């Protein structure tokens, strides 16, 4: 019986990490449903982007209030999690504050954790107020239905509780308080428990300790189901994010091959494909479902934390159009999850469910409202590119379905006929010179 807590702890730890690992595998499987894309270029710039944008939060602070609060929570979580290492060792081996032998350095460490915990607690309350009291517009847009709203709040509650438990755990730890070192914040909480006996204090301390570590394990497993996944995926996403000028849309290789054939006077359109010709004709041009997108675009969707900076900068959205770049990302993730679950339910094979991203999630009206201005791409603090998905879906609409708005069809016919989007004669191109 003596080792019961150690055994229980080990079981909780293995279960918590095991279930998370299982979901990470699923996550990677789902992302790999996307099409291959070459990301082996610009290695140095990619690392720099990751260090600057994800690690250094450079784009977060462009909006200073949210940015600085976010930096506090970010630094707080990264640093306070060093404490988790001690908790795990203590839990597995039955020790108590195993690192306290470090003496004054330990006091310094815990002291900084306590200050950060308080700062995080306050920052998270301000975040909650911004969402629920001030009701910042971007948290209340149409795509912020009940789950996205709740998800945002659940994360904040989790963080508040975890920080509170950490401070209570320290405040009720008599030997720690007696050390008189590192209890910078908890010494002011300790008096709240003045009436309690030593054994009650011990029970509260143990309870806070257990709830703290179990809370962390639950939170870890919550990630996969939540927008909070960004705390992990921001790093690969900023690495794999676009390194070319924002204005450059990707070149469709499959189309290039077709165009070359058409332009080559020696090409024989009826020629049988060469025997070793492994180049398959693509199933379709553009994207109508998530599996037509690249895996980086799918990673983008899982990375999105629904902050809405993209949507609040979008000219179409600001003028009341249906398009919201955030919704494009949320829809992509929702559909990808649906496809993933379908695969799980059908022994690893996707069974046609009669649905797709285009139409069932994203409407033509949204896609045609985009001005391709790149405001959303510029605004995203973690290098997500909603525009690339919009363009890929327009390609499907135009090249597979000929479903462009009529005025655009006229424009394209003009280009085909006379090399300009307007119906003017190509021979008149230089008339401006003499007008």
Compute the distance between CA of residue 264 and CA of residue 262 in angstroms, rounded to an integer: 6
Neighbouring CB atoms inside 10 A of 291's CB total 17
Is-contact 116 80, C-beta < 8 A? yes
Query: Which residue shows structure tokens 């470090």?
Result: 102
- The yes or no reply on residue 283 touching another protein (CB under 8 A) is no
Distance of CA 265 to the CA centre of its chain: 48
- The yes or no reply on residue 206 touching another protein (CB under 8 A) is no
**HSE-CB for 387 with a 13 A CA cutoff:** 23
Binding test (CB under 8 A) with another protein, winner from 101, 269, 281, 422:
422
- The yes or no reply on residue 315 touching another protein (CB under 8 A) is yes
Residues in 373-402 that interact with another protein by CB under 8 A = 373-375, 377-378, 391, 393-399
Q: Which residues have CB under 8 Å from 381's CB, separation 6+?
A: 53, 57, 59, 60, 62, 307, 309
- The yes or no reply on residue 42 touching another protein (CB under 8 A) is no
- The yes or no reply on residue 194 touching another protein (CB under 8 A) is no
CB 428 → another protein: shortest distance, Å? 7
Residue 104 or 372 with smaller CB distance to another protein: 372
CB 269 → another protein: shortest distance, Å? 16
> How would you write 80-141 as a 3-class SS string?
HCHHHHHHHHHHHHCCCCHHHHHCHHHHHHHHHHHHHHHHHHHHHHHHHHHHHCCCCHHHCC
- The yes or no reply on residue 415 touching another protein (CB under 8 A) is yes
- The yes or no reply on residue 228 touching another protein (CB under 8 A) is no
Residue 125 or 398 with smaller CB distance to another protein: 398
Residue 42 or 244 with smaller CB distance to another protein: 244
Is-contact 388 250, C-beta < 8 A? yes
Q: Which residues have CB under 8 Å from 5's CB, separation 6+?
A: 91, 94
Residue 178 or 426 with smaller CB distance to another protein: 426
The DSSP output letter for 35 is B
- The yes or no reply on residue 10 touching another protein (CB under 8 A) is no
- The yes or no reply on residue 270 touching another protein (CB under 8 A) is no
What is the contact mask toward another protein in residues 329 to 358, using x (rule: CB under 8 A)? Answer: ------------------------------
The DSSP output letter for 273 is P
- The yes or no reply on residue 323 touching another protein (CB under 8 A) is yes
Compute the distance between CA of residue 206 and CA of residue 400 in angstroms, rounded to an integer: 63
Is-contact 211 165, C-beta < 8 A? yes
- The yes or no reply on residue 260 touching another protein (CB under 8 A) is yes
Residue 214 or 391 with smaller CB distance to another protein: 391
Q: With CB under 8 A, what is the number of residues at the site for another protein? A: 69
Burial class for 33, CB neighbours closer than 10 Å (0-12, 13-18, 19+): middle
Binding test (CB under 8 A) with another protein, winner from 21, 28, 249, 267:
249
Residues engaged in binding another protein (CB under 8 A) = 244-249, 251-252, 255-256, 258-260, 262-263, 285-286, 313, 315-316, 318-323, 365, 368-375, 377-378, 391, 393-399, 404-405, 407-408, 410-412, 415-416, 419-422, 424, 426-435
């Amino acid at each position: 019986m003596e080792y019961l807590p150690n055994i229980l702890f080990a079981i909780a730890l293995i279960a918590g990490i095991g279930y998370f690992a299982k979901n990470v595998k699923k996550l990677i499987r789902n992302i790999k449903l996307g099409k291959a894309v070459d990301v082996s270029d610009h290695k140095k710039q990619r690392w720099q982007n990751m260090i600057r944008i994800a690690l250094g939060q450079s784009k977060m602070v462009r909006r200073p209030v949210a940015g600085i609060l976010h930096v506090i929570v970010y630094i707080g979580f990264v640093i306070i999690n060093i404490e988790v290492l001690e908790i795990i060792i203590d839990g597995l081996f039955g020790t108590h504050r195993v690192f306290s032998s470090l003496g004054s350095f330990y006091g310094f460490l815990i002291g900084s954790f306590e200050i950060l915990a308080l700062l995080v607690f306050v920052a998270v309350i301000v975040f909650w107020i911004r969402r629920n009291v001030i009701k910042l517009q971007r948290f209340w847009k149409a795509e912020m239905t009940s789950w996205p709203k709740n998800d945002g709040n659940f994360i904040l509650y989790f963080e508040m509780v975890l920080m509170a438990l950490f401070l209570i755990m320290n405040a009720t730890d008599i030997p720690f308080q007696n050390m008189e070192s590192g209890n910078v914040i908890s010494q002011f909480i300790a008096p709240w428990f003045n009436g309690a006996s030593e054994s009650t204090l011990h029970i509260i301390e143990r309870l806070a300790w257990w709830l703290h570590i179990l809370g962390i394990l639950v939170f870890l497993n919550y990630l996969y189901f939540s927008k909070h996944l960004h705390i992990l995926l921001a790093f690969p996403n900023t690495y794999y994010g676009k390194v070319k000028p924002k204005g450059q849309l990707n070149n469709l290789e499959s189309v290039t091959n077709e165009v070359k054939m058409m332009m080559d006077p020696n090409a024989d359109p009826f020629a049988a494909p060469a025997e070793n010709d492994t180049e398959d004709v693509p199933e379709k041009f553009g994207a109508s479902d998530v599996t037509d997108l690249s895996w980086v675009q799918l990673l983008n969707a899982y990375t999105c934390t629904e902050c809405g900076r993209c949507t609040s900068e979008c000219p179409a959205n600001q003028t009341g159009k249906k398009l919201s770049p955030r919704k494009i990302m949320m829809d992509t993730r929702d559909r990808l999850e649906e496809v993933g679950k379908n695969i799980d339910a059908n022994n690893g094979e996707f069974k046609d469910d009669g649905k797709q991203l285009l139409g069932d999630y994203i409407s033509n009206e949204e896609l045609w409202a985009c001005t391709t201005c790149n405001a959303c791409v510029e605004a995203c603090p973690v290098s997500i590119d909603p525009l690339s998905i919009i363009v890929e879906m327009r390609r499907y609409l135009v090249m597979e379905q000929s479903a462009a708005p009529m005025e655009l069809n006229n424009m394209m016919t003009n280009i085909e006929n006379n090399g300009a989007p307007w119906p003017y004669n190509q021979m008149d191109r230089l008339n401006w010179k003499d007008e």
